[in-house]
Amino acid sequence: MRASLLEFNINGIYCPQADIYIDAWKPVDRVIISHGHADHSKYGHKKYLTHHYNVPIVKHRLGKVNIEGKSWGEKFSINGVHFSLHPAGHVIGSSQVKIEYKGEVWVYSGDYKRENDGISTPFELVKCHTFITECTFGIPAFSWKMQNEVIKEINQFWNECKLLNQTAIIFAYSLGKAQRLIANLNLDIGKIYTHAAIENLNEVIRTYKNLPETYKITRETKKEQLLGNLVIAPPSTHGSSWLKKMVPYVTSSASGWMTFRGARRRRNIDRGFVLSDHVDWKDLVKTIRETEAENIVCTHGYKDIFSKYLNEIGYNAFIENTPFEENELLVEND
């Protein structure tokens, strides 16, 4: 019954009937982009389609590209195939892609989470026959606390650093996690300083979204200014000379991987906050149930394990390989 509305080929996720790709990993003519993370929005396609909120982000990252923005739920048809974008709740402008042809509905989830994070458009459930899901955190060891509980922990950590007159460093991915923190942390504690890579994205996002004020760290920034304040920096800055100039500081990381005690120790980070932009185990299972899909295609993450489980509980589950994060620990966009 897998009349393939979508196929996974060497270039990307392909819809033969409409001759268009989704999140292609090799340069193609036409592509629908689910969200702005680098492994999903690649350089070199001729024509890009994505949600309005993602357009400035893609332009910021890829420079001049031929790109068209769509609204949530706006239908567009190509050769009899109806497409629409629906919020995925992963990061700002992240979409699920709904594909409908002759009454058959497929949904490509992209990356997604269920909780409203206060900055991304919240996830919208789309019923379908075939659901292509990510499973980055597809084992039952992952279970997220509510965002407000985690934010409380981070505020408390910030307060503790402030009492000790140290700088609180939090490693977070530039697109998504950084803005989620900025939008939710308690700015009565102090100022939020950002790495240039993050601040540049903030400026792009501020053109269409409200985001509290943040301060870019420049050559002129004195480390004394940072004491008691919070610095948001990309994970790649850990151990860099850029960071070392800010001594005294305490490091932390906000990521789903912080669930594991070992993951934090391996990175030599003081504090780990379990805050993810992906679904945890229970929300994965719940979402699949709620889509009422019979066929589940599992892509990146613990897809072997998760699809085996889905088959056991009565779904037709399949695995498809994508180059998205085969090595989950190299990717920090969670």
Partner 1 sequence: MIDFASLIEQIDKTTKTNHKVKALDNFFKHAADKDKVWAIALFSSRRPKRAVKTSSLRGFAAELANIPLWLFEESYHIVGDLAETIALIVPETHHKNLSLKFTLSEIIEEIIDLKDLSEQNQKKYLFDRWSSLNYYSRFVFNKLITGGFRIGVSQQLMTKSLANVTGIDKDIIAYQIMGDWKPSEISFEDLILSPKKESLIYKPYPFYLAHSVDVKLEDLGDCNHWVYENKWDGIRAQLIKRSNEVMLWSRGGELISSQFPEIIEMGNMIENGTVIDGEILPFNNGNIGSFNDLQKRLGRKNVSKKTVNNNPTILKAYDLLEHNHSDIRIKSYANRREILCKLVLDVNHPILDISDFHDIKNWEDVVTAHSIARSKNSEGLMIKNKNAVYKVGRKKGDWWKWKVDPLTIDAVLTYAMRGHGRRANLFTDYTFGLWRINNDGKKELVTFAKAYSGLTDKEFKKVDAFIKKNTLERFGPVRSVQPQLVFEIAFEGIAPSSRHKSGFAVRFPRILRWRIDKSQNEANSINDLENLLHV
Residues 231, 217 contacting (CB under 8 angstroms): yes
Work out whether the CA dihedral 2, 283, 256, 211 comes out positive or negative.
positive
- Check binding of 248 to partner 1 (CB under 8 A): no
Instruction: Specify the DSSP element, H or E, that contains 301.
Output: strand 295-301
For residue 116, what are its two tokens?
A: 């409203």
- Check binding of 268 to partner 1 (CB under 8 A): yes
Coil, helix or strand at residue 51: strand
- Check binding of 263 to partner 1 (CB under 8 A): yes
Residues 193, 230 contacting (CB under 8 angstroms): yes
Residues 120, 176 contacting (CB under 8 angstroms): yes
- Check binding of 143 to partner 1 (CB under 8 A): yes
In this structure, what are the phi and psi dihedrals at residue 327, rounded to the nearest 5 degrees?
-95, 100
Residue 142 CB, nearest approach to partner 1 (Å): 8
- Check binding of 305 to partner 1 (CB under 8 A): yes
- Check binding of 314 to partner 1 (CB under 8 A): no
Total number of residues that touch partner 1 (CB under 8 A): 26
Question: Cβ atoms within 10 A of the Cβ of 86, count?
Answer: 21
Residue 271 CB, nearest approach to partner 1 (Å): 6
- Check binding of 175 to partner 1 (CB under 8 A): no
Between residues 75 and 266, which has the closer beta carbon with respect to partner 1? 266
- Check binding of 146 to partner 1 (CB under 8 A): no
Coil, helix or strand at residue 178: helix
- Check binding of 71 to partner 1 (CB under 8 A): no
98 beta partners = 84, 107
Residue 282 CB, nearest approach to partner 1 (Å): 9
Residue 112 CB, nearest approach to partner 1 (Å): 21
Between residues 227 and 274, which has the closer beta carbon with respect to partner 1? 274
CA distance 121 to 154: 23
Among 269, 279, 293, 331, binds partner 1 (CB under 8 A): 269
Contact footprint for partner 1 (CB under 8 A): 139-143, 259-263, 265-266, 268-271, 302, 305, 308-309, 312, 326-330
